[in-house]
Structure 1
Amino acid sequence: MRVVKRLERYLSAAFSLGRIKSMSKDAKREIAELRLELKALSQDLNDCQHQTLQELERMSTWMRRHESLADDLVSLSRRESEVLKRTGQSDTALLLRMFSDLSRRIDGDESGRPEAKPIRPTGLPSSKGFEMFKDAFYHRFENQWRGTPEEISQRLKVYLPDVEAAWVRTEHKPIFDIGCGRGEWLGLLRKHGMNGIGFDTNAMQMKDGQAAGLDLRLGDALEALAQAADGSLSVLSAHHLIEHLPFDSVAWLTREAGRVLAPGGLLLFETPNTRNVLVGATTFYTDPTHLKPMPEQVMGVLLETAGFDPVDIRHINPHERLGEFLDRPDFDNELAQLMFGPQDLAILGIKSKDT
């Protein structure tokens, strides 16, 4: 019996030792797995700390940068009285110009160059052949319905005194024309001793002007404008372009003009006058590439917001039959103006001189 009991104890001890070894092995495996998990958690924590430090550094840089912008605004505000005495600007125009400059710096680098490009309408997938087709259509459309180059040049002469004055004020810096088309405007400027650069996306439109030796360049004028140096232009002009663009692009173009124009430079827009009933109801929609009217109320406030001062809005190019209806005793003069009055709007803004 003693031998049997002793044997039982040995067997029980052996089984217990086996369980202990198995449990020890399981424990070692679990410890190894826990170590791996702990290592992974440690790595995640390090990565998180690193990302947090980077984010804090970015926030710190952003805060320092905007503190600098705020300091600039305070500094400019302190100089406001002196600036007003020298330039004769209104308080509102000066503050709006400072706001426009600062807003450009916020969405760009310290040189003021924008990171985002102006918004453009999107459409169907295009191809080189389809683009050529559209260019050919628009070239034919302009030739048939816009007027001859001689007629357009005659109409544009109204701007020569303003442009020449800006050209002289800025010591003959280049003139930049966006949407130059056939080049009538630049041809007129050349005849009066002023050279300019024109941009358009329609190669067919520019052929005659290029053959005549005008500097007409195929490409995106807004992208070219984004690359222009600060204060490098005397005049930025766009005749019958802004009605083809979404408002965001028009606003971007206006604000950017405040950067690229030299002090005393001129921003010149011409667009259809939809207060004329015939223009607003019919001829504006003759051009299928028109997006929306840009009325004087919108454009006047837009140029003021960009800091241009003064801003001059002119109603030009009345219908050829206006005089006939004004002379008729049985026709109301106000109605005659609404029907046959100025067909175009001119919006002119001067970049005030720096101190």
Structure 2
Amino acid sequence: MSTESADYAERLRKKQTVWWKRALHVQAPYHWNLRRQGLGRTLDVGCGIGRNLAVLPAGSVGVDHNSESVAIARSMGYDAVTSKEFLGSTPPASFDGILLAHVIEHMDADSGEKLLREYLKFLKPGGKVFFVCPQERGYDSDPTHERFTTGDDLVELCRTVGLVPQVPFSFPFPRKLGKIFIYNEFCLLARRPA
């Protein structure tokens, strides 16, 4: 399965709308973690079906290479566009923040760097970039994951492209639970120099 396929978009939709996730509002702590980063008007790169767009500030935009995922996000009222639509129409330095949640692990290191460089031109000087990648159990849960990416890997990526990273952290539980809890994540906030 490719992350560009209609099947992948449908997989995301089914995972997001399962009854117990809606009843328990399991995204609440993750949304809290995202909001507390203070990203401002955000470009959500690899937005999928838009689960994070629900809590990002007004004016935020999701972009994804999967047109089916973008269609689902739009049907839920989110501002989402395909990569081709976005790259051909958006002025540089127009966003306060960039979100890459569950994106970098889907590609090799060179492709991840290339993707980040491609979208950094849309980030204002002094803007923030927030990364989220799954830990071991979450990484193993998706056959489209290509490269296990740790917080230290994210720090290295940031330094390579000229971002100033903070200290990576494990969320929502300590790092040792990443091998058993599917939703434990590596998180890193970085800043573009002003």
Q: Give the structure-1-normalised TM-score.
A: 0.46
Pick from 171, 195, 201 the counterpart of residue 59 of structure 2.
195
Q: 1:315 — aligned with what? A: 170
Give the Cα separation in 2 of the matches to 1:134 and 1:339. Answer: 24
Q: 2:80 — aligned with what? A: 216
**Is the 8 Å Cα contact of residues 303 and 311 (structure 1) preserved in structure 2?**
no
Q: 1:206 to 1:305 in 2, by over 3 A?
A: closer
Give the Cα separation in 2 of the matches to 1:268 and 1:189. Answer: 12
Q: 1:337: how far off?
A: 8.1
Pick from 102, 120, 143 the counterpart of residue 288 of structure 1.
143
Give the Cα separation in 2 of the matches to 1:216 and 1:189. Answer: 13
Q: 1:141: how far off?
A: 4.6
Matched, 1:178 2:19: no
**Is the 8 Å Cα contact of residues 315 and 342 (structure 1) preserved in structure 2?**
no
Pick from 222, 241, 246 the counterpart of residue 103 of structure 2.
241
Q: 1:134: how far off?
A: 4.5
**Is the 8 Å Cα contact of residues 131 and 154 (structure 2) preserved in structure 1?**
no
Q: Which runs of 5+ in 1 are unaligned?
A: 1-122, 125-129, 168-173, 323-333
Q: 1:338: how far off?
A: 6.5
2:158 alignment partner, SS class: helix
**Is the 8 Å Cα contact of residues 258 and 308 (structure 1) preserved in structure 2?**
no
Give the Cα separation in 2 of the matches to 1:335 and 1:212. Answer: 36
Q: 1:227: how far off?
A: 6.3
Matched, 1:344 2:188: no
Matches within 5 A, 1:1-80: none
Deviation per residue, 1:297-339 (Å, 9 max, x gap): 2211110122212433121122xxx8xxxxxxxxxxx977875
Q: 1:203 to 1:300 in 2, by over 3 A?
A: same
Give the Cα separation in 2 of the matches to 1:341 and 1:135. Answer: 20
> In structure 2, what residue type is equivalent to 1:290?
H
Q: Which has the higher strand share?
A: 2
What count of residue pairs does the alignment treat as equivalent?
A: 192
Q: 1:23 — aligned with what? A: none
> In structure 2, what residue type is equivalent to 1:287?
D
1:269 alignment partner, SS class: strand
Q: 1:94 — aligned with what? A: none
Larger gyration radius, structure 1 or structure 2? 1
Matched, 1:160 2:35: yes
2:172 alignment partner, SS class: strand
> In structure 2, what residue type is equivalent to 1:348?
L
Q: 1:200 to 1:257 in 2, by over 3 A?
A: closer
Q: Which has the higher helix share?
A: 1
Larger RCO (CA within 8 A; separation ≥ 6):
2
Q: 1:261 to 1:135 in 2, by over 3 A?
A: closer
> In structure 1, what residue type is equivalent to 2:141?
T
Q: Which moved more, 1:248-257 or 1:140-149?
A: 140-149
Q: 1:139: how far off?
A: 3.3
Q: 1:237: how far off?
A: 0.6
Give the Cα separation in 1 of the matches to 2:33 and 2:118. Answer: 25
Q: 1:205: how far off?
A: 3.9
Q: 1:89 — aligned with what? A: none
2:131 alignment partner, SS class: strand
Q: 1:299 to 1:343 in 2, by over 3 A?
A: same
